[in-house]
Structure 1
Amino acid sequence: MKINIGQIIKLYRYKQNMTQSELAEGICSVSHLSKIENGSKEANQDTINLLLERLGISQETLSQKARHLLSLLDEFQMNMYFYALDQAEQNAEMIIQHEEQFFSLDLGIQYHLSLFQFYLLTEKQPLALKTHRVLKKFEKTFIETEKEIFEYLDGIHQIKNGQLEEGLKKLESCFSYASVEQSDLYYHYAKALGNMGHLGDALEATHQAMDLYRQKNNFKRIIHCTLIHGVISLELKAFQTAKKYLKEVILHTSLHPDAYIKMTAYFYYGVLLKREGDFSSAVPYLLDSLNYFNQEQIEDRYCETLYEIATLYAEYDRKKALPYIHELLKQPRIQPNCLYMIKIYKLMIEENPHDLKTYLAEAAIPYFEHNQLHSEYLFALRTLLSYAASELDERAYMSYTGKLLDHLASYVPYYKKA
């Protein structure tokens, strides 16, 4: 391990409130010491030993400190792998206190890579972005293993920021890297595939991740994989299978506390009940998850849950829908497709047929069609059809019916493939 001896000397001199003159007296010139501290001049070993002796440290002490710092990073990595977030939080606080020492012992890149992984794991996006910027500055100095780990973490970072295709490509390139933990790689790969709608491939990757986690008795990540199974089954409309997996997650998170995963399972279980038409049973699950995501300031999940509750009440109890709609419209991170849908519901509830028809025809339907949002497009067309029928507008009714039939016909090959 390379030790930045100049930075070590400078660090310990600062800690002891010594001037360069005081430290250098009788050993070397002040200008010589300044060059050693800044790394612009290599000193002979005798000079280094005398400087270290005056500071009360030795080469052996530095080696021990390096081993200690590496053990802190190892423990940090282990707690992150086994998703022991409370312990990982304590690890993070401790290593941050030793930041200067990490850099002086040439462990700065490992320090920042570990923190970057932690911030991604705990959804601390502003801190993740800040650490990512620091790592990008040092990217040209990375050794091979650091390049591989950064590429893997950068892929996760891109996926979390909505750059799904770019992030997925980076993860795919990491399967040949020995330095990247394969179980975690398959796990994040499965989540990305699921988000992109490649549900079959996502299931296969989830199986791979779960098998690898079982080999290492990583129970929490096994629960996380079970949650992915439940979510994919829900998207495939295999509701009974989804119920089985989601109930399993809720049970296991009661035995092995994990509030985020439990509330995420609550959210999807509420969505499942909503899709089955059991609105009254869905509400408690969605409200519990909404309160948790709001309290923990998990903005994306909070928006998703607000949307599900608002659209549920729009169908089930319209008077209760408006407060959730207004709250959702304040959120800066609302997805565009959700924004269009929620504005439609708002105009329907306010019983403003003229503005609703204009918004559907001129804004929502073109957007849904352009972005190939099948179910939203059908919903918008059917809403227009119902208004055309109620107003006995035969021309508009025939026009919208034609569009509806054309759209359904274009999706027949898609459904046959599925």
Structure 2
Amino acid sequence: MNVGPIIKYYRTKKGWTQAELANKICSISHLSKIETNMYAANEETLALLLNKLELTLENERERMAGTGSKLQEFILSIFSLDHEQADQLYEELIQEQDYLASSDFVNLYHLYLYRYYCWKELEEEELRIHTMIQRIKTTFTNVEANIFTFFQAMTLVQQRNNEEAQKFFYDFLANPLPIGKYWLGEAYFQLANTHSKLNQPEAAFIYGRKSFDLFEEEANWKRQIHAQMILGINYMRLRLFSEAETLYKKLLRNTRLFFRDTYHPYVLVNYGVCLMHQKKYAEARGEIEKALKVLPSQTKKYTIALFCWIEIGWKAGLTNTEWNEKLKELHLLSLDLEDKLFFHFSVFYEKKQFSQQDAMEYAIKWLYPYLIKMKHYEKAEVIVKEITDYYSEQDDLIMTRHYYDEWRKLIDREKIYNENDL
């Protein structure tokens, strides 16, 4: 524990000059060096300085240890997605910011604030603290530098820069520092998440399994559910439908009991998609309808569920009046979303009802390029296969070959990851 900055903190809090504190104890220059950690004072000098400030070294060590524990609780509450506790601890830490700025935890304090602001999507505060971190990062220990690497990766995930985020997570995991199971579990989870978004199911499954085991060990319930949902999605992509269905049934039970208003509707949607892939259309539609009844309309989650319902109806050949009404609803909802995925699909399905040629022309010009641009690779595979089949039926060998090659690229990219890191 570096006592010098703490002495300076209490001295300035009392409004004393260095001369007033140093009087009859040591020289002013000596005190200045102690306060800036340029000189390690002997125990007798420290005791005299602290005594004059009405402090004891033992009490300060206890306070410092308590502050360190509070910081640890703060970051663990963020890892556990415990908003209430994180907010409470944040307010307590802010009240101690002057003391923290004088403590050994000053760098961790700023790093954890940065993660908190990113998590809460408080952009102004995030930018301010990031600027501060750029100024102090040359003072980071190896552990603090590795933590910053981790937080940079998390920020890249929020920005949907999944490939770049993976590089930072791999760098984080390559650093053999004692970082703790919460950190490892979250790193594995985010690697599973990014590989899943990039439609790389094997890598996503491996990291998802690793993260689940650690979350289970630490009783991190919310993240356990998130990891299981990623496992379920990638079971489906690997066409392991029996395993996916077994997993979703457990998730449905547990989320209905403990997370009925939060995670349960999303599990219903994923389970419905799993049933759709097995051509159990009536059951699939029923699960999606349960979700639609409880999800707030005008939200993206509701729009996702609605899109799944429409997709099931199309595959089942149930394009009746109700289906068309919901397609119009999807189109209207899509107009308010920044991501134009559902807008393009609503137009595509509308055209597909009346003209295969119009639908394919729209897919070629708008839908497929958008899916590639936004890295919706799983959906891109489905659409490019339809385009390939369309040109094949037209006996256009050149375009058939072109889009077949596009399809092959998407299939091959599922394997584009470093197997040595798994």
The partner residue of 1:143 within 141, 145, 163 is 141
Higher deviation after alignment, 160-169 or 69-78: 69-78
The residue aligned with 1:326 is 332
- Contact 1:266-1:288 within 8 A present in 2 as well: no
Higher deviation after alignment, 371-380 or 223-232: 371-380
Output the CA distance in 2 between the equivalents of 1:380 and 1:236.
23
Q: Structure 2-normalised TM-score?
A: 0.71
CA pair 51-414 structure 1, distance change in 2 beyond 3 A = closer
Alignment of 1:185-196 (within 5 A): 185-196=187-198
CA pair 70-347 structure 1, distance change in 2 beyond 3 A = same
The residue aligned with 1:5 is 6
- Is 2:88 the partner of 1:90? yes
How far the C-alpha of 1:375 sits from its partner, in A, is 1.8
In structure 2, list runs of 5 or more residues that go unmatched: 416-422
- Contact 1:191-1:202 within 8 A present in 2 as well: yes
- Contact 1:156-1:167 within 8 A present in 2 as well: yes
Q: Structure 1-normalised TM-score?
A: 0.72
How far the C-alpha of 1:198 sits from its partner, in A, is 1.9
The residue aligned with 1:70 is 68
- Contact 2:229-2:267 within 8 A present in 1 as well: yes
Output the CA distance in 2 between the equivalents of 1:34 and 1:412.
71
How far the C-alpha of 1:311 sits from its partner, in A, is 6.3
CA pair 81-342 structure 1, distance change in 2 beyond 3 A = same
The partner residue of 2:250 within 248, 251, 258 is 248
CA pair 44-221 structure 1, distance change in 2 beyond 3 A = closer
SS at match of 1:197: coil
1:155-175 per-position Cα deviation (integer Å, ceiling 9, x unaligned): 222123111111112212223
The residue aligned with 2:237 is 235
Output the CA distance in 1 between the equivalents of 2:258 and 2:49.
52
1:9-45 per-position Cα deviation (integer Å, ceiling 9, x unaligned): 36523xxxx57699779789xx989978995998988
Output the CA distance in 1 between the equivalents of 2:342 and 2:397.
24
How far the C-alpha of 1:343 sits from its partner, in A, is 4.3
CA-based RMSD of the aligned residues comes to: 4.6
The residue aligned with 1:114 is 112
The count of aligned residue pairs is: 388
How far the C-alpha of 1:142 sits from its partner, in A, is 0.4
How far the C-alpha of 1:47 sits from its partner, in A, is 9.0
CA pair 74-284 structure 1, distance change in 2 beyond 3 A = same
Output the CA distance in 2 between the equivalents of 1:175 and 1:21.
45
The residue aligned with 1:407 is 403
CA pair 290-194 structure 1, distance change in 2 beyond 3 A = farther
CA pair 260-341 structure 1, distance change in 2 beyond 3 A = same
Alignment of 1:189-208 (within 5 A): 189-208=191-210
How far the C-alpha of 1:144 sits from its partner, in A, is 0.7
- Aligned letter for 2:383? E
1:207-250 per-position Cα deviation (integer Å, ceiling 9, x unaligned): 22333444445555443332221121233343443232123123
CA pair 178-128 structure 1, distance change in 2 beyond 3 A = same
Output the CA distance in 2 between the equivalents of 1:410 and 1:340.
20
The residue aligned with 1:377 is 384
Output the CA distance in 1 between the equivalents of 2:80 and 2:364.
51
The residue aligned with 1:172 is 170
- Is 2:159 the partner of 1:161? yes
- Contact 1:340-1:364 within 8 A present in 2 as well: yes
CA pair 37-97 structure 1, distance change in 2 beyond 3 A = farther
How far the C-alpha of 1:252 sits from its partner, in A, is 2.0
- Aligned letter for 2:306? I
SS at match of 1:173: helix
The residue aligned with 2:285 is 279
CA pair 58-308 structure 1, distance change in 2 beyond 3 A = same
SS at match of 2:394: helix
- Aligned letter for 1:319? E
1:102-147 per-position Cα deviation (integer Å, ceiling 9, x unaligned): 1121312112333444456x56463656544443332211001111
In structure 1, list runs of 5 or more residues that go unmatched: 295-301, 386-394
How far the C-alpha of 1:352 sits from its partner, in A, is 11
How far the C-alpha of 1:2 sits from its partner, in A, is 2.0
- Contact 1:273-1:282 within 8 A present in 2 as well: no
Output the CA distance in 2 between the equivalents of 1:81 and 1:361.
42
- Contact 1:267-1:289 within 8 A present in 2 as well: no
The residue aligned with 2:420 is none
- Aligned letter for 1:376? I
Identical columns (%): 17
1:158-193 per-position Cα deviation (integer Å, ceiling 9, x unaligned): 123111111112212223433333333322222222
- Contact 1:365-1:381 within 8 A present in 2 as well: no
CA pair 104-409 structure 1, distance change in 2 beyond 3 A = closer
CA pair 244-130 structure 1, distance change in 2 beyond 3 A = farther
Output the CA distance in 2 between the equivalents of 1:110 and 1:68.
14
- Aligned letter for 2:190? H
CA pair 404-172 structure 1, distance change in 2 beyond 3 A = same
